[in-house]
Structure 1
Amino acid sequence: MPHPKTAEALIKCAGPIESSLLPRLLHVTEAAAIAASYQMGRGDKNYADQVSVEAMRRMLNCLDMKGVIKIGEGERDEAPMLFIGEEVGTGVGDLEVDIAVDPLEGTNLAADGIPGAIAVMAMAEREGLFHGPDIYMDKIVVGPEVVKYEKTHPDEKIDLDAPVIRNLEIVAKALNRNIDELVVVILDRQRHKDKIKEIRETGARVNLISDGDLMPGIATAIRGSGIHMVLGAGGSGEAVLTAAAMKILGGKMLARLVLPTVANGGTPEEIEKEKAEKMPRLATMGITEENLNNVLDIEKLAPGKDIIFSATGVTPGILLNGVSLFGEGDARVHSITMGSSGVVKFTDTIYIHDKEKNPLRMA
């Protein structure tokens, strides 16, 4: 029987960004996660975020590339580093990349020692990631089985505007399950009160989370995670990062930009005030009141052909273990990395400064 050469074939499919930068990207998120882990449970989310940002930026500036932050920590006058538009990397070589970062996704989770905090980032060729504003995105995320089902049932497609029961019926058929066997993750927010009620009325189970719906979104594309759909409005940056991973994993995501005042049921006066404040900035990104409500799919959120993604656990989560600190500055971390070739790695890494004091041990 001939050898299938599976690994070789996938490795040869990797683009220049994946081939050159994905191994190093792992180091970037690991450094940020370890920095944040020393502040885990200390109650200071801002400082935890600060040290993770600093660590991530230091590592990014070691990479031979010409990088531009497209999803980052904010505008130049709000964030001292990893701000939108900042150039990172050594500037050496021909690789020009757009970057989405969240050095500490789930700052409250990390500060309070609650599961689900991660360090995460994605890269793609120029214009390969949606350059969105720092507002909300209302979204729905499902796995590749649903994509496969839609191809053979063109009249049954997940729709951001459809009733929850309609979307859950499609997911149930795609997974060969009953609706009451499905689990839907949604942020525990007042703005989702009606949506949560609607989900429960279908018979599906609701998994409420306080923060951090990025990894649950990715989990919909991984069998055995116990998560079948993610719904609701959250940060647009996290949505783009989710889309980058879901494009690699073959899942589906639909999203729509929404102003926080609109999502949270603000008064007409509050909505108009926010429009006046934010629409001029959105206009520079090509976003107007006419197209603000357009539905964005994965090809619009992550149009790149050479996408790489890395996430490292800070506190324990659905897919990743948290950082374990031991000895003098030594740490064990758990990460997921993936690239457009289709190669996905779960990596368990141990950093040891003094091998005599802290020899490796069997788990």
Structure 2
Amino acid sequence: MDAQKKCEIMMKSAGPIEQALLPRLVNVTEAAAIAAAHQIGRGDKNYADQVAVESMRRMLNCLDMKGTIKIGEGERDKAPMLYIGEEVGTGKGDLEVDIAVDPLEGTNLTADGVPGSISVMAMAEPGGLFHGPDVYMDKIVVGSDVVKYEKKNPDQKIDLDAPVSENLQIIAKALNRAVEELVVVILDRPRHQELIREIRGTGARVNLVSDGDLMPGVATAIRGSGVHVVMGSGGSGEAVLTAAAMKILGGKILARLVLPAVANKKSRDEIEREKKEKIPRLKKMGIMENNLDDVLDTERLVPGKDVIFAATGVTPGQLLKEANLFGEGDARVNTITMGSSGVVKFTDAIYIHDKEATPLRMK
């Protein structure tokens, strides 16, 4: 194959969702990010989330598609819009898509003006995204170098049930590093105290984040990001969105559903109360109580073949710059988009409302 033709072949291999909707996805996440950016540092996380949700929904409803929210703002009785099961889009055309959204991942980060918040979403063909319930997922996320190493060494694979030291040794070998050189991102939560102790016990370094471990998960598949693995339990929606990016980038996620009361080591009575509340909803999604221990890999979380992903920075992060606001409604935003064909784009976009009042500058 001629080297100069490889990109052409990739472009032609894009599925109908990627061809039609990936170029428009930036508008959706960027609009939500800009709306949220106006609330940076104002201390009201609920309002920051509200404006991001409203903006994202308005932009989704401009797209010619028949979309169904599979991962969203919660159940219909708890979320006024972008709830699980809501239909979005104009309804025009033949494209049907399942959608995972988080209009503002890191609401606290935005409210407090702290790095790490984003607007993010993914799409796939119907049945292409895990229909996730509003519970946690215990997970481990690694990049493509680890996947490549596992294929060459089938007896050495990361495992959710393996000791932390064993997983980190495999990752270190795959990255040609010492365990002491690994950086593990984990949410700073009391439930992770023992996991943090075990990681540090191996000599690896821990990067604690107060919120938002989705983009660090994506970063494991991007060399030079400084993130080698993400561990710990967090939202199931974030795990599915991470899986969408991992599938495109060749990385890997292993995850297991876990009730928040179980993850946070609550009392037996609290766990039973949560089971009575959550299990009926899980069953409606086809998840039985005895399936909670199933390990879900990248393919089970995102079985779709035509997958697209987009994320826009709100506050500064490892991969994305913050949204900058200037002039009268003008903004500059940084976005990453990717599709199943293998294309990954970093976009630096400037929205200028009044060209005379706000001339374009190089810096």
Could you state the TM-score of these two structures normalised by the residue count of structure 2? 0.99
**1:289: how far off?**
1.5
Say which SS state the counterpart of residue 291 (structure 2) adopts: coil
In 2, Cα distance between the equivalents of 1:153 and 1:121? 34
- The one-letter code of the counterpart of 1:89 is G
Q: What pairs with 1:140-289 in structure 2 (closer than 5 Å)? A: 140-289=140-289
- The one-letter code of the counterpart of 1:55 is S
> Partner of 1:104 in structure 2?
104
CA offsets 1:159-206 (integer angstroms, 9 cap, x no match) = 011111100000110010000000000000000000000000000000
In 2, Cα distance between the equivalents of 1:128 and 1:251? 17
Structure 1's 174 and 287: CA in aligned 2 closer, same or farther, altered over 3 A? same
In 1, Cα distance between the equivalents of 2:38 and 2:294? 41
Say which SS state the counterpart of residue 26 (structure 1) adopts: helix
In 2, Cα distance between the equivalents of 1:204 and 1:282? 36
- The one-letter code of the counterpart of 2:212 is G
**1:6: how far off?**
2.7
In 2, Cα distance between the equivalents of 1:29 and 1:194? 36
> Partner of 1:87 in structure 2?
87
**1:3: how far off?**
5.7
> Partner of 2:20 in structure 1?
20
**1:88: how far off?**
0.2
- The one-letter code of the counterpart of 2:199 is I
> Partner of 2:338 in structure 1?
338
Say which SS state the counterpart of residue 310 (structure 2) adopts: strand
Corresponding position: 1:6 with 2:6: yes
In 2, Cα distance between the equivalents of 1:132 and 1:79? 15
**1:132: how far off?**
1.1
- The one-letter code of the counterpart of 1:236 is S
**1:77: how far off?**
1.4
Q: What pairs with 1:289-328 in structure 2 (closer than 5 Å)? A: 289-328=289-328
In 1, Cα distance between the equivalents of 2:205 and 2:50? 36
In 1, Cα distance between the equivalents of 2:240 and 2:320? 20
In 2, Cα distance between the equivalents of 1:281 and 1:324? 40
CA offsets 1:234-280 (integer angstroms, 9 cap, x no match) = 00000000000000000010000000000000111111110011101
**1:286: how far off?**
1.3
> Partner of 2:72 in structure 1?
72
CA offsets 1:291-334 (integer angstroms, 9 cap, x no match) = 11100000100000000000000000010001000111000000
In 2, Cα distance between the equivalents of 1:5 and 1:114? 44
In 2, Cα distance between the equivalents of 1:242 and 1:234? 12
CA offsets 1:42-67 (integer angstroms, 9 cap, x no match) = 00000000000000000000000000
| Structure 2 unaligned regions, length at least 5 | none
**1:21: how far off?**
0.2
- The one-letter code of the counterpart of 2:201 is E
- The one-letter code of the counterpart of 2:94 is D
Say which SS state the counterpart of residue 98 (structure 1) adopts: strand
Answer with 192-201 or 2-11: which moved more. Answer: 2-11
In 2, Cα distance between the equivalents of 1:295 and 1:79? 29
- The one-letter code of the counterpart of 2:235 is G
In 1, Cα distance between the equivalents of 2:4 and 2:332? 34
**1:2: how far off?**
5.5
CA offsets 1:9-36 (integer angstroms, 9 cap, x no match) = 1110100000000010110000000000
Name the count of aligned residue pairs.
363
RMSD: 0.9
**1:7: how far off?**
2.1
In 1, Cα distance between the equivalents of 2:255 and 2:133? 14
Say which SS state the counterpart of residue 4 (structure 1) adopts: helix
- The one-letter code of the counterpart of 1:329 is G
In 1, Cα distance between the equivalents of 2:3 and 2:66? 39
Say which SS state the counterpart of residue 177 (structure 1) adopts: coil
> Partner of 1:36 in structure 2?
36
Say which SS state the counterpart of residue 321 (structure 1) adopts: coil
Could you state the TM-score of these two structures normalised by the residue count of structure 1? 0.99
Say which SS state the counterpart of residue 70 (structure 1) adopts: strand
**1:142: how far off?**
0.3
In 2, Cα distance between the equivalents of 1:323 and 1:4? 36
**1:288: how far off?**
1.4
Corresponding position: 1:58 with 2:58: yes
In 2, Cα distance between the equivalents of 1:81 and 1:280? 22
Say which SS state the counterpart of residue 91 (structure 1) adopts: coil
> Partner of 1:125 in structure 2?
125
CA offsets 1:52-103 (integer angstroms, 9 cap, x no match) = 0000000000000000000001111111110000000000000000000000
In 1, Cα distance between the equivalents of 2:262 and 2:45? 27
In 2, Cα distance between the equivalents of 1:75 and 1:178? 44
